[in-house]
């Protein structure tokens, strides 16, 4: 055996001397980890090759595996034992995919092997791997299959996210849409900016408005616009702050973390008592009585949540959007929504004329209708219906647009007789400094649409300052 080993090593040295190539293996799991930690480079190579094949018809390989995701997208994978050529800085390289079955096991060991010219390996390797990772990142950004996760114990359970809502289907004033999509795009490309000012790369949105005003649809539109996964965090199922931390640490970058009905999810006993005592006129209070009576012991606390949104733990991932929703902004502790935590305050109100026209266009294919004028007068007179209510009527009558419009009109008239939906602000939208006492310059965006012919920041507002931020 000694002679055999010697012959083997002689053969290897001779082969190494004669071959003009160097080979680098990229295993699926980190070689030196006992816990089978995923090797991020493997994922990058996999995405890169997928992107390479999709982008270039000249990137021929002998054989590819094809798969289709639940959302209908095709993915290419290099079939085991096959290679895909590439070029970088004028040099020819190639990747080969290996899949070995482990002895006495059903498990497979996967890896990619990179072949590059030996003489240039030092100059090529690191720049090429950087190029692979950044291309994979870009490919992932626009082609990833989104997932929706919810917490179950200390783990997340996820399903493919196929919500069809988008900023095209959402009935919002066009100017407001532009403002919001600009904000989101600016955020998603601001990695270097956040780093340069020493801030965690995250952005907070507070969405508030009555049930059916489109908060969930808005979140889905954001996820589809940015191609971010959604983590729907059910705070009432989290037993304490350390469980919250464990969950948040498992969330991936490029994601939206949603906490719905934030006012009902936290045990902010003192605060809620104060509010409830003050607002006896809130007959439709959304506050969960058990939260009020409970002393909050052993549960997620406000400081536990703040530690994640703003404290040291806020940096445990990057490119995150945190969204809180509530039906009653008044019940949310100001500490939770101060700037830096919740950067944008978006009010989704009752349906205004702009939103109504968009709904009629989307649901009924109507560009104009004789009843629009009367409907606008109804809205001005205090008629208040949510987009959800109107959408439902239009959906039901989609075969007969006239009947749909008549039903919507009757419902608006009925809501006036009943004294409106109690959301008079919903008949217009504007972007102003928060008029409800937040003099710190955070934005309140009020939507619905009657006056929606432009964004008119109040004098002294921070429209320009915020614009400068990017
Ligand atoms: N602005 C809108 N444009 C288009 N459709 C809308 C809009 N707002 C609501 N809808 C429709 O109304 C329905 C309910 O909306 P959604 O669930 O987003 O409201 P919500 O504010 O999240 O309600 P809740 O507070 O009860 O969760 C959805 O089917 C959605 O398609």
Of ligand 1's listed atoms, the one at least distance from the Cα of 172 is 1
Based on the number of CB atoms within 10 Å of its own CB, is 122 exposed (0-12), middle (13-18) or buried (19 or more)?
A: exposed
**Do 221 and 339 fall within a single domain?**
yes
For residues 134 and 418, what is the distance between their CA atoms, to the nearest angstrom?
A: 58
Ligand 1 atom closest to 165 (CA): 31
CATH number at residue 311: 3.40.50.300
Q: Which strand (E) or helix (H) includes residue 125?
A: helix 121-143
Ligand 1 site residues (CB inside 6 A) read 170-172, 211-217, 327, 355, 359, 387-388, 391
Query: How buried is 351 (Cβ within 10 angstroms: 0-12 exposed, 13-18 middle, 19+ buried)?
Result: buried
The CA R_g of the chain, rounded to the nearest whole Å, is 28
Identify the pLDDT of residue 124: 92
- Is 6 inside any structural domain? no
What count of Cα atoms within 13 Å lies in the side-chain half-sphere of residue 225?
25
Same domain? 106 vs 81: yes
Q: Which atom of ligand 1 is nearest to the CA of 169?
A: 4
ipTM for this model: 0.96
Q: Answer yes or no: is 1 within a domain.
A: no
Is 444 a member of any domain?
A: yes
Residue 365 lies inside a defined structural domain of this protein: yes
Secondary structure class of 108 (helix, strand, coil): strand
Specify whether 443 is located in the same domain as 308: yes
Phi, psi for 66 (deg, rounded to 5): -110, 140
Residue 4 lies in a domain: no
* DSSP state string for 146-199: PEEEEEETTEEEEEE------TTTS---HHHHHHHHHHHHHHHT-HHHHHHTT-
Atom of ligand 1 nearest to the CA of 217: 18
Ligand 1 centre distance from Cα of residue 325 (Å):
13
Verify that 162 and 229 share a domain, yes or no: yes
Neighbours of 188 (CB within 10 A): 18
Q: From the CA of 210, how far away is ligand 1's center (Å)?
A: 10
- To which residue do tokens 């006993």 refer? 269
| Same-domain check for residues 205 and 343 | yes
pLDDT in tens, 261-308: 887 776 543 343 344 444 444 433 443 433 333 444 557 787 778 877
Judged by DSSP in three states, 450 sits in coil
Give CA–CA dist 364/407, Å, rounded: 13
Paired with 304 in beta bridges are none
Q: What is the pLDDT of residue 259?
A: 92
- Whether residues 137 and 84 share a domain: the answer is yes
Do 133 and 152 belong to one domain? no
Domain limits at 32? 16-143
Model pLDDT, residue 54: 63
Residues 167 and 308 in one domain: yes
d(CA 388, CA 367): 20
Q: Give the nearest ligand 1 atom to 209 CA.
A: 21
Quote the ligand 1 centre to 235 CA distance (angstroms): 22
Protein residue closest via CA to atom 12 of ligand 1: 388
**How high does pLDDT run on average in the chain?**
77
Last residue of a domain, one of 75, 110, 143: 143
Residue 125 and residue 170 in one domain: no
Contact 73, 65 (CB under 8 A): no
Per-state percent for the chain, helix, strand, coil, to nearest 5 = 45, 20, 35
**Ligand 1 centroid from CA 216, angstroms:** 6
Q: Is residue 322 domain-shared with residue 357, that is, in the same domain?
A: no
Selection from 104, 146, 91, 112 nearest residue 29 by Cα: 112
Is 294 part of any domain?
yes
CA distance 105 to 134: 35
In a domain, 82, yes or no: yes
Query: Which pLDDT value is given to residue 216?
Result: 94
What distance in angstroms lies between residue 36's CA and the mean position of ligand 1's atoms? Answer: 43
| Domain shared by 102 and 189, yes or no | no
- 208 phi and psi, to 5 degrees? -140, 150
Q: Is 9 inside a domain boundary?
A: no
Mean predicted confidence (pLDDT) in 111-133: 92
Strand partners, 84: 95
User: Does the reported pTM lie above 0.90?
Assistant: no
> pLDDT value at position 219?
96
Closest to 263 in 3D by CA, of 255, 275, 253: 275
Instruction: Indicate if 74 and 179 belong to the same structural domain.
Output: no
pLDDT digits (tens, 9 = 90+) for 178-235: 889 999 999 998 988 988 988 888 888 989 888 998 999 999 999 999 999 999 999 8
* Total domains in the fold of the chain: 3
């Amino acid at each position: 055996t000694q002679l055999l080993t010697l012959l083997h090593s002689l053969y290897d040295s001779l082969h190494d001397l004669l071959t003009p190539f160097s080979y680098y293996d990229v295993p699926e799991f980190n070689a030196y980890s006992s816990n089978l930690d995923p090797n991020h480079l493997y994922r990058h190579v996999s995405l890169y090759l997928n992107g390479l094949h999709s982008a270039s018809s000249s990137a021929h390989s002998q054989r590819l595996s094809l798969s289709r995701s639940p959302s209908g997208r095709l993915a290419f994978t290099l079939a085991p034992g096959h290679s895909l050529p590439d070029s970088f800085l004028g040099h020819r390289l190639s990747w080969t995919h290996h899949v070995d079955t482990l002895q006495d096991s059903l498990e497979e060991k996967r890896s990619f092997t990179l072949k590059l010219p030996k003489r240039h390996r030092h100059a090529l390797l690191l720049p090429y791997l950087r190029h692979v990772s950044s291309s994979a990142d870009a490919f992932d950004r626009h082609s990833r299959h989104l997932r929706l996760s919810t917490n179950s114990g200390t783990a997340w359970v996820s399903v493919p996210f196929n919500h069809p809502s988008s900023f095209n289907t959402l009935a919002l004033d066009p100017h407001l849409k532009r403002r919001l999509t600009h904000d989101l795009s600016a955020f998603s490309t601001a990695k270097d900016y956040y780093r340069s000012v020493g801030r965690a790369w995250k952005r907070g949105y507070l969405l508030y408005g009555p049930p059916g005003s489109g908060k969930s649809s808005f979140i889905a539109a954001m996820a589809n616009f940015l191609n971010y996964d959604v983590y729907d965090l059910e705070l009432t199922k989290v037993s304490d702050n350390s469980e919250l931390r464990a969950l948040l640490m498992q969330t991936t970058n490029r994601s939206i973390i949603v906490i719905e009905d934030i006012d009902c999810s936290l045990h902010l006993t003192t605060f809620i008592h104060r509010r409830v005592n003050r607002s006896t006129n809130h007959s439709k209070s959304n506050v969960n009585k058990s939260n009020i009576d409970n002393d909050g012991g052993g549960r997620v606390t406000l400081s536990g949540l703040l530690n994640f949104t703003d404290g040291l733990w806020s940096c445990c991932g990057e490119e995150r959007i945190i969204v809180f929703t509530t039906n009653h902004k008044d019940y949310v502790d100001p500490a939770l929504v101060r700037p830096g935590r919740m950067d944008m305050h978006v009010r989704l109100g009752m349906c205004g004329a702009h939103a109504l026209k968009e709904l009629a266009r989307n649901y009924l294919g109507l560009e104009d209708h004789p009843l629009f004028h009367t409907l606008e007068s109804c809205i001005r007179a205090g008629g208040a219906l949510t987009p959800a209510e109107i959408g439902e009527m239009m959906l039901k009558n989609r075969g007969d647009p006239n009947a749909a419009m008549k039903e919507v009109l009757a419902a608006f008239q009925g809501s006036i007789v009943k004294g409106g939906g109690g959301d008079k602000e919903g008949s217009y939208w504007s972007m102003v400094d928060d008029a409800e006492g937040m003099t710190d310059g955070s934005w309140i965006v009020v939507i619905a649409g009657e006056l929606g012919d432009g964004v008119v920041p109040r004098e002294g507002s921070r429209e320009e300052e915020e614009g400068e931020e990017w």
